[in-house]
Amino acid sequence: MPTKIAYFINQYPKVSHSFIRREIAAVEAQGFEVVRIALRGWDAEIVDDDDRAELGRTRYVLRRGMAGLLAPLLRQLTAAPGRFLAALGLALKMARRGERGLPYHLAYLAEAAQVTQWCAAEGVRHIHAHFGTNSAEIVMLAQCLGGPSYSFTVHGPEEFDKPQALGLDEKIRRSAFTVAITSFCQSQLYRWVEQSAWDKVAIVHCGLERAFYAGAPTTPQIAPRLVCIGRLCEQKGQLLLVEAAAQLMRRGVAFELVLAGDGEMRAQIEERIAHHDLQQHIRITGWISSAQVREELLAARAMVLPSFAEGLPVVIMEAMALRRPVLTTYIAGIPELVIHEENGWLFPAGDIERLTDAMQACLQATPEQLAAMGQAAQLRAVERHSVNVEAAKLARLFNAHLAPQPQALGLAAPAGGTR
């Protein structure tokens, strides 16, 4: 029988988490059976057919609300009081250093009790979380309660903004291993944990499946269209992009800009578009599926992402795999993938003039230049971000750290009504 592991995510499926879905599928192809567990997401708006399929495969901790976690919590206390008290002490420790108050960390403990019991019932031997935030704390508490070994993937930038409040050092020390998605990410984790724990931090890139980029046209798109894909939020820099578009218009450069996504800053971005009278030049799509992301990338000559803070955006590797050069900033792990004037254009974050110059250079590039850059982009993205290669790295790490076959300890709860 295949070894069972679990994946734990705060919200799943989610439009911005397609890379997690791809990773799970690739890990299953390595011979594991993956139990999907999430806090929430059963009632989220889903636009992708593959994500809809994941809904039925995922267990949701909060589907019955916090009141539904009282029974698992009491069952844990009764069956293993020593472990419960140790986990409670750990939750108190995390609360003392965290920016969120004690009630949140007690909620994480209750959520961890449910995760622990599901893992015991399913025979899960390892659990992997994505993001170093509350999801990593919950699987850490689950291990303390007697659950399986755990690991987690750190993406940034949120974890880099408040590493001490998130207790990243504690989470790394207690983990079987911790995944960083870039060398930059690894270096940031090294900053917050003692050197003796550095060997726990492994680099595993986010991956792309061949089906996403297979058959991508070899000829560039010559229409003067650029696309920005990402949540409409402060860290992605779309407000700066609108200001650069206004400069392009004043320079007399023909262009069309598509903002593919949605988010909390949409109204503010729309106001700036109207202020500069750019409605004929800029279009906002709202949330779109993975297939629509691919269509928007192929319809543009390049992707532009003027981010202020990042890890390494998956959409950059997606654009490059489709032979689309990328215009983006010299921050975080981005320069590990994008090489200036070879497969894209890099510019300083926050610099409107340099952003405008890069957009103009791209819009005025010849088809031959775009084709050469697109080919270089695909070669680099595929070389560094094959989902099968990266999943094989994860498989080796999982196999090296599998917990013994779990003992139910009288904690296994029926799974009915949790999906």
Q: Give the tens place of pLDDT for each residue, 195-211.
A: 999 999 999 999 999 99
Burial class (CB in 10 A: 0-12, 13-18, 19+), 51: buried
* pLDDT value of residue 57: 97
Maximum pairwise Cα distance, the chain = 73
Tokens of 286: 């709202």
pLDDT tens digits for 51-96?
Answer: 999 999 999 999 999 999 999 999 999 999 999 999 999 999 999 9
Closest C-alpha among 256, 260, 248 to residue 287? 260
Distance separating alpha carbons of residues 347 and 218, to the nearest angstrom:
26
Q: What is the mean pLDDT of the segment spanning 290-304? A: 95
Distance separating alpha carbons of residues 118 and 6, to the nearest angstrom:
10
262 contacts: CB under 8 Å, gap ≥ 6: 231, 232, 284, 285, 286, 287
Helices and strands in the chain: count of H runs, count of E runs = 17, 13
Look up the pTM and report it.
0.93
Angle between helices 81-97 and 102-122 (to 10 degrees): 140
Domain ranges of the chain: 3-207+386-400, 211-384
Say if CB 174 and CB 193 are below 8 A apart. Answer: no
- Dihedral sign, Cα of residue 319, residue 324, residue 325, residue 328: negative
pLDDT above 70 (res 414): no
Query: Which of 28-42, 284-298, 351-365 bottoms out in mean pLDDT, i.e. has the lowest?
Result: 284-298
Strand residue runs (E) in 57-189? 58-60, 126-130, 149-154, 177-180
pLDDT tens digits for 144-190?
Answer: 999 999 999 999 999 999 999 999 999 999 999 999 999 999 999 99
pLDDT above 70 (res 97): yes
pLDDT above 80 (res 49): yes
Closest C-alpha among 130, 132, 131, 85 to residue 109? 85
65 contacts: CB under 8 Å, gap ≥ 6: none
pLDDT tens digits for 359-389?
Answer: 999 999 999 999 999 999 999 999 999 999 9
Question: Which residue type, as a one-letter code, is found at position 211?
Answer: A
Share of the chain above pLDDT 90, in %: 91
pLDDT tens digits for 239-285?
Answer: 999 999 999 999 999 999 999 999 999 999 999 999 999 999 999 99
* Mean of pLDDT over the chain: 95
pLDDT above 70 (res 34): yes
- By residue count, the chain amounts to 419
Tell me whether the CATH fold assigned to 3-207+386-400 matches the one assigned to 211-384.
yes
Distance separating alpha carbons of residues 258 and 278, to the nearest angstrom:
12
pLDDT above 80 (res 404): no
* pLDDT value of residue 250: 98
Q: What is the mean pLDDT of the segment spanning 287-304? A: 94
* CATH top class, domain 211-384: alpha beta
* CATH top class, domain 3-207+386-400: alpha beta
Question: Which residue type, as a one-letter code, is found at position 68?
Answer: G
pLDDT bin (cut points 50, 70, 90) of residue 407 is: low
* pLDDT value of residue 45: 81
